[in-house]
């Protein structure tokens, strides 16, 4: 590779070109960890380690001074809390299903109807999600209360007698579910929109050319292909709502009390019991991890089938 008399420039460039490659190869050893080390490290310390502590507390490996002694097993008083967990799961399931049902046609319209303003409309749909969560809940307090907008309207129009407001509207399971649906609806349209948007529209045309009606095309082609987006959307609502405690504490009263409120009260309430609170948290985490795992498997299966 020495520099001969002839072709000096050629050799010169060759050497120049080889040098950075060599440099890059040497760099390779530290560049990846130095790029990924800080973010991964942050999450190891402030995300994974804390979960380990939750597990240690719930299995009584770590015990707080003053907490009731017990073995790992007796810490799992799940029998006591399982009905509440089930109630929260039911509420979240209903909310997630309804919200996905409402969002699907909207996303479908935006993605497939060829409307020229689809991104503007999508932004209009999502914008409320970007505003304050607490304030959107507050708005419903104003609307649903005994003196709220709905009851005022009903009295005004003579549908209900003055002084007999519909009091189930606020501080009820209904209120919690309505507000959770309201809060999450804008967000859910997004994953469905993305899958429908990336769907190969020629497939729809092919189905139609082969004589399928719109409904058949939808049932046999569009819906199955958009299922990953639907499931993702469903989980994006279900996961945060099943552990929700802010909305129920503001509009739920006693009948809207959820599993998340129980966890919250075990930590921040009048009679703190961190051990039990940690146990309940770990259980919630386990359920969500299982769901996420099943979902990812489902996605893989779908990919394999398409391929």
Partner 1 sequence: MDVALSANGRRVIRVFFALVLVFLYAPIAILLVFSFNKASVPTFPLTGFTFRWYHDFATNREMQAALETSAIVAAISSVIAVALGVLASLGLSRRAFRGKGVVTAFLLIPLVMPLIVLGISLLLLYHELGVPLSLVTITIGHVVISIPYAILVLLPRLEQVDRSLAEAAYDLGAGALTTFRRITLPLILPAVVSAFLIAFTTSFDEYAVASFLAGSRETFPLFLYSQLRFPDKLPQVIAVAVVIMTLTIAVVVGAELWRRRAEARLGEAPTY
Whole-number Cα distances in Å, 187 to 4, 88, 123: 66, 21, 10
CA distance 112 to 110: 6
303 near partner 1 (CB under 8 A):
no
Whole-number Cα distances in Å, 136 to 26, 139, 142, 271: 54, 5, 10, 30
Q: Which of 172/281 has CB closer to partner 1?
A: 281
Contact with partner 1 (CB under 8 A): which of 74, 90, 167, 268?
268
Whole-number Cα distances in Å, 99 to 173, 174, 196: 16, 14, 17
271 near partner 1 (CB under 8 A):
no
What is the length of the chain? Answer: 307
DSSP state of 128: G
CA distance 295 to 18: 46
Contact with partner 1 (CB under 8 A): which of 83, 105, 224, 269?
105
278 near partner 1 (CB under 8 A):
yes
Which 228-257 positions form the footprint of partner 1 (CB under 8 A)?
A: 235, 239-240, 242-246, 250
Contact with partner 1 (CB under 8 A): which of 1, 2, 5, 17?
17
Which 111-140 positions form the footprint of partner 1 (CB under 8 A)?
A: 112-114, 119, 121-125, 127-128, 130-136, 138-140
CB of 203 to partner 1, least distance (A): 10
Per-residue x/- marks for partner 1, 144-183, CB under 8 A? Answer: -x-xxx--xx--x-------------------------x-
CA distance 96 to 233: 8
Q: Which of 14/127 has CB closer to partner 1?
A: 127
Judge whether 9 and 15 are in contact, CB under 8 Å.
Answer: no
Which 33-62 positions form the footprint of partner 1 (CB under 8 A)?
A: 35-36, 38-40, 42-43, 46-47, 49-51, 53-54, 57, 62
């Amino acid at each position: 590779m020495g520099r001969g008399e002839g072709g000096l420039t050629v050799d010169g460039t060759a050497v120049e070109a080889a040098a950075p490659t060599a440099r890059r190869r040497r760099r390779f050893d530290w560049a990846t960890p130095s790029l990924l080390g800080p973010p991964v490290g942050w999450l190891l310390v402030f995300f994974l380690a804390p979960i380990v502590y939750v597990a240690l507390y719930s299995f009584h490996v770590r015990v707080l001074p003053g907490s009731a002694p017990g073995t790992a097993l007796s810490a799992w008083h799940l029998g006591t809390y399982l009905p509440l967990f089930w109630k929260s799961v039911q509420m979240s399931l209903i909310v997630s299903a309804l919200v996905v049902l409402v969002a699907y046609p909207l996303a479908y319209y935006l993605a497939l109807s060829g409307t020229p303003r689809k991104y503007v409309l999508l932004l209009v749909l999502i914008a409320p999600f970007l505003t304050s969560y607490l304030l959107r809940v507050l708005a419903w307090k104003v609307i649903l209360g005994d003196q709220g907008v709905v009851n005022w309207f009903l009295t005004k129009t003579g549908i209900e007698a003055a002084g007999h407001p519909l009091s189930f509207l606020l501080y009820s399971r209904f209120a919690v579910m309505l507000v959770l649906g309201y809060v999450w609806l804008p967000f859910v349209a997004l994953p469905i929109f993305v899958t429908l948007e990336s769907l190969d529209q020629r497939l729809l045309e092919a189905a139609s050319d082969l004589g399928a009606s719109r409904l058949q095309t939808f049932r046999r082609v569009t819906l199955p292909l958009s299922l990953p987006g639907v499931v993702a959307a469903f989980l994006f609502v279900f996961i945060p709502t099943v552990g929700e405690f802010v909305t129920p504490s503001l509009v739920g009263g006693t009948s809207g009390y959820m599993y998340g409120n129980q966890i919250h009260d075990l930590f921040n309430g009048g009679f703190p019991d961190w051990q039990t609170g940690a146990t309940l948290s770990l259980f919630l985490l386990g359920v969500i991890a299982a769901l996420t795992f099943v979902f990812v498997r489902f996605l893989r299966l779908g990919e394999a089938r398409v391929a």
